Each structure stands twice: as structure tokens, then as C-alpha cells.
Structure 1
Amino acid sequence: MNETVLCVVGNVATRPVYRELPNGPSARFRLAVTARYWDREKNVWTDGHTNFFTVWANRQLAVNVAASVEVGQPLVVQGRLKVRTEMREGQQQAWASADIDAVTIGHDLTRGTAAFRRSAKPETPARAETRPEPQWETPPPSEPDAQQDPETVLVT
């Protein structure tokens, strides 16, 4: 609930690695995000510090990343930030990694064009048992009985 959701714009730094796992497809790649600022003294745009994020995609997003994303492409990534720290053998300081658990990924159209294609929907597995569909239609009104008083017949 108290997650850090962010949106970053950067360039793909590594080739996406795709894996089929027991809980579904997964893909990861590194994204380089470089700050840019206007240098008033030189009167030019200048690159600032570059942050690298490991972007994780799961399920259908992972499949689409593997088919669509290449090194060097500009992307917009939205997802949850996860910062991990761990100690490694022979090191005095903890190692830190900033990961993004991606919710959505797209090409940055301010820097190029893209041709969108819908991904094929996975086929639904056949049902184990075949039951007839229930009859949801309202039956047509029946003819009133001849013996019934015409004034008491309800017409719907």
C-alpha cells in the first residue's frame, strides 16, 4: 500500500533476458536514466548523473518486452521501486541495487516512432466438463386461455 511508484525515462542499456519460470514468464533489463540540465554559462544542454535501474517485467509484459525492446531504445517505464542491499564476500560496504517492478513499459515517442501490434491472446484451456449453456432468454408470452376472463389477462 505504501509503495514508491515512479515513472522514469531512459535508454535500454542491456539486452532483455527472458525466462520461463514456474509462476510465469519474466524478463529483466538495465535502464540508463541520465539527468539533463541547461548550462547557463555554456548556453547548452548538459548531461548530469546517470542512474541505472534493473527493470523487471512479468507475465504478458515480459513476453512483449522480449519481442519489442532492444539495446539503445528510449523507453518510458512506470512501476514500483525496490531498493535492495546485501553484503558480498570480501567487501567492506554493502552492495545496493535499485530495481523497478514494471507495471507498464513503452517507447518514448518524443524521440522516435513505433508501430503498435496487439499481442495474441493466449488460448483458453478446454473445460474439463462440458455443460450446456443456461437459457438466459426470457420466454415469449403465452397466449391467454380462452376460458380466462379477457379483463384479467395481464399483458407485458
Structure 2
Amino acid sequence: MDATITVTGNVGSDIDVRTDDTNEWAYAAFRLACTPRFVRNGTWRDGETTWLNVNCRNRQLSLNVQASVSKGDPLIVTGRLTTWSWTNAETGEVRERLVLDALAVGHDLGRGTSTFRRAERTMPQPPPAEDPSVFGELEESTAPGPDEEKPAA
């Protein structure tokens, strides 16, 4: 079972984007600070900040986050929450980190405005049609063209 959640917070780091040489895949990662606010005795107070590592494993999402999101931006992120655990080699201490594998990322419009612009998709170009190695030999058509007469039956 996946723990799919939606969180709000502020981007707390630069967006780290990695791609391969052919630009076929992209991976983006950033830190999100989630600080609850509440009223006590008539004044607003900040609660304890929870830091999440956000990973964008989808190529298009990663590139769009890189183009749209900056450090400090208020975001809404939906994804699968996981915990990464490891043992510190020097101390033997077990460490854990909360990681959110993002499915969707957007600006929090409750705290500002944003303008949506569709991303241009770059699709690989198909090989030229006259290349028989790709499409095989084309058979000549025996059907008459638009300017030719049909044979009498």
C-alpha cells in the first residue's frame, strides 16, 4: 500500500536537476519546509518545521519544476511518502529521512498568483519516408490516379 499524501510548504533549497547525455531522462530534487502555524493567546505562532526531500522522477515533471519553481516558493506537492533509512558507518547510528516521490507539484495559489503555460514537448523526429530500410519496399500502386481514367470493365 502506498501512502499518498498532499503537503504544503516552502521550497528550502535550489532545484537540483540531473539529466543524461541524450536528455532522455531527467530527475529533479529539492527540500520542502513544512511549518504549521497556529494561534495562541491571540497571536500567530510557528510550530516545529518538518523537512521533506522531494524527488521528481518523471522527466516532464522534473523539467517543468526546474523551469517554474525557485527557492522560497510556496508549493503544494502530492506524492508517495517513504522513509529512507541507513546506518552511519562511523557511529553505527540508524538515520532516517522522509522522502516524497512527487506525482504533482504546483504553486500554492492561496499565498500568491501564478500563470500557467503549457510546456513544449520535444518529440523525436521520424526518419524520412523515402528511406526503404526503415519502412520496407513500397509496392507500386495499380490504382489510377486522380487525373487518370478508370479502365473499362
| Amino acid of the structure 1 residue aligned with 2:61 | L
- 2:117 aligned residue: 117
Secondary structure at the counterpart of residue 49 of structure 1: coil
Shift of 1:123: 1.7
1:44 to 2:43 alignment: yes
Question: Structure 1 pair 130/115, CA: closer, same or farther in 2 (3 Å)?
Answer: farther
| Amino acid of the structure 1 residue aligned with 2:9 | G
- 2:95 aligned residue: 95
Q: Residues 13-40 of structure 1, C-alpha deviation per residue, up to 9 Å, x if partnerless? A: 000000004871000000000111221x
Q: TM-score, normalized by length of structure 2?
A: 0.78
- 2:30 aligned residue: 29
| Amino acid of the structure 2 residue aligned with 1:15 | D
Shift of 1:131: 9.1
Secondary structure at the counterpart of residue 91 of structure 2: coil
Deviates more, 1:51-60 or 1:90-99: 90-99
CA RMSD of aligned residues (A): 1.9
Shift of 1:92: 4.2
Deviates more, 1:21-30 or 1:93-102: 21-30
Name structure 2 gaps, 5 residues minimum. Answer: 128-133, 139-153
Q: TM-score, normalized by length of structure 1?
A: 0.76
Name structure 1 gaps, 5 residues minimum. Answer: 133-156
Question: Could you tell me how far apart the structure 1 residues matched to 2:95 and 2:20 are?
Answer: 26
Match of 2:135 among 129, 150, 153: 129
- 1:11 aligned residue: 10
| Amino acid of the structure 2 residue aligned with 1:56 | N
Deviates more, 1:44-53 or 1:16-25: 16-25
Shift of 1:61: 0.2
> What percent of counterpart residues are identical?
34
Q: Which structure: larger Rg?
A: 1
Aligned length: 129
- 1:149 aligned residue: none
